[in-house]
Amino acid sequence: MTGRYYVTTPIYYVNGAPHIGHAYTSVAADIMARFKRLAGDEVFFLTGTDEHGQKVEQAAQAAGVAPIAFADQVSADFRAMYDVMNVSYDDFIRTTEPRHIAGAQALWERIAANGHIYLGAYEGWYALRDESFYNEDELVTRPDGTKVAPTGAPVEWVREPSYFFKLSEFADRLLELYETRPAFIEPASRRNEVASFVRQGLRDLSISRTSFRWGIPVPGDPEHVMYVWVDALANYLSAIGFPDADNPRAGFWPANLHLVGKDIVRFHAVYWPALLMAAGLDLPDCVFSHGWWTIEGEKMSKSLGNVVDPRDLVAQFGVDPVRFFLMREMPFGGDSDLSRRAIINRLNVELANDLGNLAQRTLTQVARNCGGVLPAQGVPTEADDALLAQAALLPTLMHGHIDRHALTDGLEDVWRVIRACNAYIDHQAPWALRKTDPERMAVVLRVLVDALRVVGTMLQPYMPGSMGAMLTQLGVAEDERDFASLDRPLPEGRVLPAPQGVFPRYVEDAAQ
Ligand code: MSP
């Protein structure tokens, strides 16, 4: 069954350079998008940059440039990172674009027209670093007596006139949402956290500021700019042309998946659905929260100087090994550590050895012993049937994993098939059959090509470049790479290109 699929990443702040955490979310979203495209869905994959707010204003000031010039530069750097990471976004929205400003203001106006916004005065603890307000009881007291946000960010007491969103009125509806649509927040551990936060009661949310200028003016009261999170969340609507119902993309709402890191779940699973309810709009299907990377066992931070630019990893290991590592190493939803040793291990064992060698062994034998053309399917033995049946099950299993956003489990199932192929080739020993039973040898190699075709097809979303190259070597034409094509056997006799290794081993010494 095909349909429409709308997936988003958070839009990233432009006050810092792109790092591995940004690349991680975006690659995960890219895999979802590529998978759905191969499944025949019409996909809209949105990402972008979050460019307003006091932090950006201050960062620009420190750099001695206008905020927009600063944002232009960093936003362009995010796109450059995406090119390196092979992220196939359909649109890249910037919150400084007129289309976004119009969309965010329209959303505000709709919520106001429905009676959910009022003017008041705000007093409270604000953490500039998180662009977030905290309740007194959420603050943590440091040994020296200072109070900080639960994230460790410094907080200050602020007081100013402010528009408020009547968030408190939505607590019951939100709890009902988590109850009746548990898939709205995944994984379940995050859902429990969010639900218990809401159960404690919600206070109205201050949604405008007068203390700085770098933001979207509040409709009808330009002294105020919108709170940066209301501005930012609106991107998911403004990118599909909201409020214009005739926009060709309007039909993508509601979004299927908002992928976010665990630090920003509250904004996406509490504020966002409440704002949408207030505007009378449908709610997205799922907010999926992933864990955080540490680097060689330490928290990644500017002050520790260990912030990893994904482009440096790609320069050393290649883009697909890095994409693979990110998805393989971190159980999707959990936390994990990124280390050089772990990357090299995964690359050498799972990619170069398990998969690369298998493809290379199979294809060199086809080249040498079958005249470089695809052998016929032949009469299968029980062992052949068993392997082909295991491979044939993969697309169904993968669909299940992808729909549960279990990207790591998907890889585990593919590797089960790869390991079965390796056991099969060792057991069948086609190199020995060459003399004793060349006909059987050809059938064995064809079984391997067919199993590898399924593996390569299903792995394309994770490693598009190298799997494209592998499929070419297996004789799979470019228009035969979607999932539906797997039902059509490749014709025997097709001429295969000369085999070339897809995943060279990484040799540490030679690189130093
Ligand atoms: N601008 C907001 C999002 C607005 S969405 C409407 C924002 N931007 S951010 O630049 O701080 O990027 C945050 C994303 O990067 C979050 O999803 C966060 O979880 C992720 N990561 C930041 N550090 C990370 C790691 N060390 N590991 C994994 N992801 C990390 O928040």
Q: What is the pLDDT of residue 2?
A: 67
Q: What is the pLDDT of residue 122?
A: 85
Least confident window among 260-269, 326-335, 490-499 = 326-335
Whether the pLDDT of residue 494 is over 70: the answer is yes
Q: Which atom of ligand 1 is nearest to the CA of 22?
A: 15
pLDDT band at 3 (very low <50, low <70, confident <90, very high): very high
pLDDT band at 491 (very low <50, low <70, confident <90, very high): very high
What is the residue with the minimal CA distance to atom 6 of ligand 1? 233
What is the residue with the minimal CA distance to atom 22 of ligand 1? 21
> What mean pLDDT do residues 37-44 have?
98
Q: What is the pLDDT of residue 302?
A: 86
Ligand 1 in contact with 53 (CB < 6 A)? no
> What mean pLDDT do residues 288-294 have?
96
Whether the pLDDT of residue 509 is over 80: the answer is no
Whether the pLDDT of residue 462 is over 90: the answer is yes
The amino acid present at 131, given as its one-letter code, is E
φ, ψ of residue 240 in degrees (nearest 5) = -105, 20
Q: What is the pLDDT of residue 512?
A: 47
Whether the pLDDT of residue 460 is over 60: the answer is yes
Ligand 1 in contact with 132 (CB < 6 A)? no
> What's the whole-number average pLDDT of the chain?
96
Strand, helix or coil for residue 1: coil
Alpha carbons 318 and 364: distance in angstroms, whole number: 24
Q: Which atom of ligand 1 is nearest to the CA of 299?
A: 26
Least confident window among 145-154, 426-435, 473-482 = 145-154
> What mean pLDDT do residues 498-509 have?
90
Whether the pLDDT of residue 511 is over 60: the answer is no
Strand arrangement, sheet containing 217-218:
208-209, 221-226, 217-218
| pLDDT, tens digit, 9 for 90 and up, residues 234-256 | 999 999 999 999 999 999 999 99
Ligand 1 in contact with 14 (CB < 6 A)? no
Ligand 1 in contact with 22 (CB < 6 A)? yes
Q: What is the pLDDT of residue 508?
A: 80
- Provide the CB-side half-sphere exposure for 150 (13 A, CA): 9
Q: What is the pLDDT of residue 124?
A: 86
Residue of higher predicted confidence among 61 and 1 = 61
Q: Which residues lie closer than 8 Å to 307 by C-beta, 6 or more apart?
A: 17, 19, 295, 300, 301
> What mean pLDDT do residues 418-434 have?
98
Task: Please state the CATH superfamily assignment of the domain spanning residues 340-487 in this structure.
Answer: Isoleucyl-tRNA Synthetase; Domain 1 (1.10.730.10)
Residue of higher predicted confidence among 212 and 109 = 109
Q: Which atom of ligand 1 is nearest to the CA of 236?
A: 6
The amino acid present at 468, given as its one-letter code, is G
Whole-model pTM: value is 0.94
What is the residue with the minimal CA distance to atom 30 of ligand 1? 21
In this structure, the dihedral spanned by the alpha carbons of residues 247, 13, 75 and 337, taken in order and rounded to 10 degrees, is -110
| pLDDT, tens digit, 9 for 90 and up, residues 170-204 | 999 999 999 999 999 999 999 999 999 999 999 99
Q: How far apart are the CA of 260 and the centre of ligand 1, in A?
A: 7
| pLDDT, tens digit, 9 for 90 and up, residues 297-331 | 999 998 889 999 999 999 999 999 999 999 999 98
Measuring CA to CA, which residue among 416, 369, 177 is closest to residue 286? 177
Structure tokens at 447: 């079984």
What is the residue extent of each domain of the chain?
340-487
Whether the pLDDT of residue 425 is over 70: the answer is yes
